[in-house]
Amino acid sequence: MPEKPRVLIHAENARELQNRLTDVSPDLPVHACGSNSELAASVPDFAPDVVYSVRFDSSTPFPTDTLLSDAGPRWISVGGSGCDHLGQWDTSRVTVTNSAGVGAAMMAEFVFGSVLHFTLDIDGLTRDKDSRRWQADRLMIPLRGKTMLIVGLGQTGQAVAARAKAFGMHVLGTRARPEPVGHVDEVFAARELPTLWHLADVVVMCVPLLDATRGLVDAAAFSAMKKTAILVDVSRGNVIVPEAAIHALRTGQIKGAAFDVFHEEPLETESPYWSLPNTIIAPHASAVFEGWGGNSFEMFLENLNCWQRGEPLQRIVDPSRGY
């Protein structure tokens, strides 16, 4: 590997991150770009050994083919956790790492903020306030004793599980390779998911987008869920079949849902999602918080030190598994 790797930074605040890298490693050649088009042009022009990339620009296509070409970098560090925008890559030519876990705690807070929105009937309380109505017989729905099903027990799923136990919930979870996980009462293989939908009061989707998870939550899954179930999706947009979700919410197959991800982003103004009852819509922002970008970049800097010392990189992504 190069003694002084050439580092290309692709982010909305790329210049700021460039200054941060220069502060800690002033001898490294660094180039910053603030758009997908700049990234596509910079790879052949700058010939980076390493690319740190935060996917933020939806106005132009992400230059996957350029990054993964023979002229591309030997290491791609993804600033978030999801790597499905890269598709498949040749692990003998390029290593891909991610920042898994950087937003796990915040995503878990989003999950419970969404769940409590429905169990405390915040919409109803707001309507009562607007109409100056004092409904003294209103009943809250406790989470204690309820069952949460977490689909995907990575770092986000585990963060959700820890908070679920603090609320006194019974926690079920699925993972590709079932083994005991802290704060989870029962762990099942992913293939057992069809037998679990009907058990859950709350379903939380935390899986990466893979061939095996694409369209995972379909019409059959919604039909199997309780009518009182709450669904929260912080996975990837194509894990849930949109037509099935829209039908389920319109017809009252489930109590409510919170979506942070969609099959197309940004969500078009004409999308039927906007008019669905009992639905929370977030702009793929559950993992975004003040300081998120800085935390992710610090994880990259630690990995860059490993790279320069010839030590194994952390958080290497297996393209066949998506994590």
202-205 and 230-233 beta bridge pairing: parallel
Q: Is 265 a catalytic residue?
A: yes
Q: Of 163, 170, 236, 315, which is the active-site residue?
A: 236
Q: Of 265, 268, 302, 311, which is the active-site residue?
A: 265
Q: Is 183 a catalytic residue?
A: no
Tally the residues of the chain: 323
For residues 303-322, one letter each, b for 16 or more C-beta atoms within 10 angstroms of the residue's C-beta and e for the rest, the string is bbeebbeeeeeebebebeeb
For residues 133-153, one letter each, b for 16 or more C-beta atoms within 10 angstroms of the residue's C-beta and e for the rest, the string is eeeeeeeeeebeebbbbbbbb
Q: Is 236 a catalytic residue?
A: yes
- Rounded Cα distance between 203 and 152, Å, is 11
The catalytic site residues sit at 236, 265, 284
